Amino acid sequence: MGWFLLAHIGLPLLFGTAFFVFSAAVSPSIIGWDVLVETPQDWAILSLGATGAIFDNARVEQAFGSNSALMAIGLVGVELVLSAVIVFARAKTMREGRHFTLTSGIMVLFLGFLTLGLTAGVLVWAYPHGS
C-alpha cells in the first residue's frame, strides 16, 4: 500500500507544491498570500485524477464490492464541491479587488489538501478491507 499511496497521493502533492513554487517565481502579478491560493486548485485537480486511478485498483474494488462505482462517483462529487468552493473564494476576492490574508489563504489551502486527504483516506481504508 505504501508504494501505491506514494504514487497516487505523494507524487501529486509533490508536483502541486512544485506548481506553487513556479507560480511564486514567475508571476509578478501575484501579491502576498495570493500565491498560496494557486496551489489548492492544483491539488483538487490532481486528487480528481488520483481518485480515478485508485478506483481502478482491484483491491479497492474488492473492498467496496458492488458499491465501488457509487463510492468513486460520490468521492468525485465531494471533490468537485470542494473545488467549486476554492474557485468561488478566489473569484470573489479578485472581483472585490482584495488580497488573501494568511488566515484566508490557509483556509483555502486546507480545502485543497482535504481533497487529497479524502482520496488517500479511501485508499488507506480499502487496503486492509480488500482481500
Tell me the per-residue pLDDT of 74-127, one tens digit each, with 9 for 90 and over: 999 999 999 999 999 989 988 998 888 889 888 998 999 899 889 888 888 888
- Cα(55)–Cα(93) distance, integer angstroms: 35
Query: Which residues span the domain enclosing 37?
Result: 2-25+33-129
pLDDT digit string, tens, across residues 50-69: 888 888 888 888 899 888 98
Q: How many domains does the chain have?
A: 1
Label residues 23-32 b or e (16+ Cβ within 10 Å = b): beeeeeebee
Q: Which residue has the higher pLDDT, 75 or 42?
A: 75
Question: Residue 101 in contact with residue 33, Cβ under 8 Å?
Answer: yes
